Amino acid sequence: MTVDLEVDVETGLAYGPSGKLLDVYRPVSAAVPPPAVLLWHGIGPDERDVLAPLARAAAALGAVVFVPDWRPDAEDRGRTHLLESLAYVRERAALHGADPERTVLAGWSTGATSAVGAALDPDAVGGRRPTAVVGIAGRFDIPDRFGGAAALEQLAAGAAPAVPVHLVHGSTDPVVPAQHSRDLAAAARERELPVTLAESPADHAGVIMTAFDPAVNRCVAASDEAVIGAGRRTAEILVRAAG
């Protein structure tokens, strides 16, 4: 993997008609345009800050990472926000120094459910396919935010991901047990579909380089070296997914 690069962060950019904001993490001295990574957060509304440690780590390894706020509690369950963030990256990745031909769609927790859903039904997200999808600590037995059936149901019905799917999960996750990713990987492998699964000795927060702080009721940047190591492995997978 690449030696860590210096990272520039641009915060609070409006990305669509809804007025939601995103942050962009960009390596300063990349020799060639790096891949773009669109990274969706989980069930907490407007929690792009939760993914800041992972986004910074992935940018240091050589990716331009876009992290939008979105609201899973919106009337349409966040569908509009997710689609607007996708459109922003498709249209403006190059303006932020990224290679628009190498784009990874990724999500954590609830975000992972919809990222994998987009791989199974690209028409639901405008038809344009990313290079790969990365699902981090997701559930795949529930519907995504685009109106699609659960990923496991779609696979059982004969659907196939349009691009490679890379799954990442903490083996000690008590919130979304790792069995969810194992089940999806097994279902895809049974049909010889392009999927990988990497497990880290981490919990739901640790796999993204954070720890849950009950005092603020959200995940915050971790200081434990083992947790940082687990999150760095996730960052490496995000960058490698772009090929």
Tell me the residue type at 220. V
In order, the DSSP letters of the chain are -PPPPPEEEEEEEE-STT--EEEEEEESS-SSPPEEEEEE--SSTT-GGGGHHHHHHHHHTT-EEEEE---TTSTTTTHHHHHHHHHHHHHHTGGGT-EEEEEEEEEETHHHHHHHHHHH-GGGGTS---SEEEEES---SS--TTSPPPHHHHHHTT---SS-EEEEEETT-SSS-THHHHHHHHHHHHTT-SEEEEEES--TTGGGTEEEETTTTEEEE---HHHHHHHHHHHHHHHHTT-
Region 155-181: mean pLDDT is 96
Contact 200, 168 (CB under 8 A): yes
* pLDDT surpassing 80 at residue 68: yes
Summarize pLDDT for 216-231 with one digit per residue, the tens. 999 999 999 999 999 9
Mean of the per-residue pLDDT values of the chain: 95
Distance (Å, rounded) from C-alpha 49 to C-alpha 55?
10
Where does the pLDDT of residue 3 fall: very low under 50, low under 70, confident under 90, or very high at 90 and above? Answer: low
Q: With bands split at pLDDT 50, 70 and 90, how would you rate the model's confidence at 59? A: very high
Side-chain half-sphere exposure of 67, counting CA atoms within 13 A: 26
Q: Which fold has domain 7-240?
A: Rossmann fold (3.40.50)
CA 106 to CA 167: how far, in whole Å?
Answer: 10
- pLDDT tens across 98-139, in order? 999 999 999 999 999 999 999 999 998 988 889 999 999 999
pLDDT of residue 1: 46
DSSP per residue, 148-198: PPPHHHHHHTT---SS-EEEEEETT-SSS-THHHHHHHHHHHHTT-SEEEE
At 29 the pLDDT is 83
Whether this model's pTM surpasses 0.85: yes
Please state the φ and ψ torsions of residue 218, each to the nearest 5 degrees: -160, 165
Residue 19 binned pLDDT confidence (cut-offs 50, 70, 90): very high
pLDDT tens, position by position, 188-219: 999 999 999 999 999 999 999 999 999 999 99
